[in-house]
Chain A
């Protein structure tokens, strides 16, 4: 059977037409067949998964199902702490670390009845990758395993696109959910800063880190976020406010929405590939046809966001890794240690100046978008490059489209918007104002439903997977 979406599986499980055990066995078989070429999982927990699936099935049969995620197979990026299961950050430095407790979001998803299949590849500590000098190889893109997944939630993007899992967790400090969503052709949301707990997740840069879900569809992301979101007193950034119904606007079209197109980013600061531009144009035309009001909006330059993000992220990350960088420098992968080393060379004044600049950028963004509901731009500049041709210093050479919303804390979702060169997917990024996730899901779902791109999955059995060997 093809891997269903979470929403489809939930309906079938509720109708007792699909067994959580059967679904879990399906995913385990997919992993057995495909993970050797994709490296999406770095650790499997099949016995535990089957036990959880049997427990979910028992609840369903007794009429005690916990909701739409009960019995749904997922997996966690390996920076999410999992009690009793190694959590490595994909790094030699934590190769044998076994947390005693679950991250808050892991526990929330477990409480919702999800079935955890294992731990997923990431860039080392969510920063260094793709790397070939770590204890595990980097994840590869299911649409063509010779190509990059983007990162750092690389395993999550690959596993979802390949149908190995129905959903999973990612983290996003400069685009690590939305980048893999674009290059792997899946959906992924970086929620508003403070909506989803970061507690128990290995930090990269405290003031930019976000946790969030990834899945095949926008609707599935809404279902996962419903379980993950909520106040956590253990996370000092957590927002103490009610969690809305993220699915409330699904099924409504874009009529009346005020959409701002951030052309100065994807047409001027970093012109995108024809396929990415076509995806943005497709979204605009779909929303316009549904009755949305479309306008151009000019946000601060991507280069300004890039500068602030680089200084803040590198300084915060280095502060976390300083001791290891001094004492165990060569136990890091080359990409991580070299990128992070710049953090040792920045001054305290550089960091504070970047934070002052960040406040200016946040204010300018809010002013520019004052009379808009959502913004749209690229999720990534182009189709996935070959995995052996990813520039080590790309983040210095080119500004990204995703980091700005890590600085503002605004929610942003990556959605597949088409296919480009060699059939590789491309994605758009849709942005909303803080805590406006229901509106964001509505706009994204309206596009996704009209675009009709969710029936096409990577054809792994075609033999392209073997080309990567």
Chain B
């Protein structure tokens, strides 16, 4: 299944990150982006309640 993100948009992400990737490296990473997208969808979990906190919220008092 192809990635939802277009290769042009993917290349824009790479440029924004400032990584000196060659065209071949960009192509390889873009080719695998289709496996990354479902993971990003999973963690977004549409429907999660507003009150659902991240795992790293901490208590300020000493342990």
Hey, which bits of chain A sit against chain B, CB under 8 A? Answer: 207, 239-240, 303-304, 306-308, 310-311, 325-326, 329-330, 338, 341-342, 344-346, 350, 352-360, 362, 393, 396-397, 407
Known: A345-B14, A396-B36. A240 touches B63 (CB 8 A): yes
Hey, which bits of chain B sit against chain A, CB under 8 A? Answer: 10, 13-14, 17-21, 25, 28-29, 32, 35-36, 38-40, 42-45, 48, 52-56, 63
Contact B20 A356 (CB under 8 A): no
Beyond A326-B18, A341-B29, 20 additional pairs, beta carbon < 8 A: A303-B42, A306-B39, A307-B38, A308-B42, A308-B43, A311-B39, A338-B28, A341-B19, A345-B10, A345-B14, A345-B17, A353-B40, A353-B43, A355-B55, A356-B52, A360-B52, A362-B55, A396-B32, A396-B36, A407-B55
CB distance from A232 to the nearest CB of B (A): 13
Contact A345 B13 (CB under 8 A): yes
Please name all residues of chain A whose beta carbon is closer than 8 Å to the beta carbon of B29 when the two chains form the complex: 338, 341-342, 345
CB distance from A36 to the nearest CB of B (A): 34
Contact B40 A352 (CB under 8 A): no
Please name all residues of chain A whose beta carbon is closer than 8 Å to the beta carbon of B17 when the two chains form the complex: 341, 344-345
Please name all residues of chain B whose beta carbon is closer than 8 Å to the beta carbon of A407 when the two chains form the complex: 55
Contact B21 A341 (CB under 8 A): yes
Please name all residues of chain B whose beta carbon is closer than 8 Å to the beta carbon of A240 when the two chains form the complex: 63
- Ranked 9 nearest A-B pairs via Cβ: A355-B54, A344-B17, A307-B39, A307-B42, A358-B55, A396-B35, A359-B55, A354-B43, A357-B43
Contact B39 A359 (CB under 8 A): no
**Once bound together, how far apart are the Cα atoms of A240 and B56, in whole Å?**
18
Contact A325 B19 (CB under 8 A): yes
Please name all residues of chain B whose beta carbon is closer than 8 Å to the beta carbon of A304 when the two chains form the complex: 42
Please name all residues of chain A whose beta carbon is closer than 8 Å to the beta carbon of B36 when the two chains form the complex: 310, 342, 396
Please name all residues of chain B whose beta carbon is closer than 8 Å to the beta carbon of A325 when the two chains form the complex: 19
Q: Please, which residue of chain B has its CB at the minimum distance from the CB of A346? A: B40
**Once bound together, how far apart are the Cα atoms of A164 and B10, in whole Å?**
47
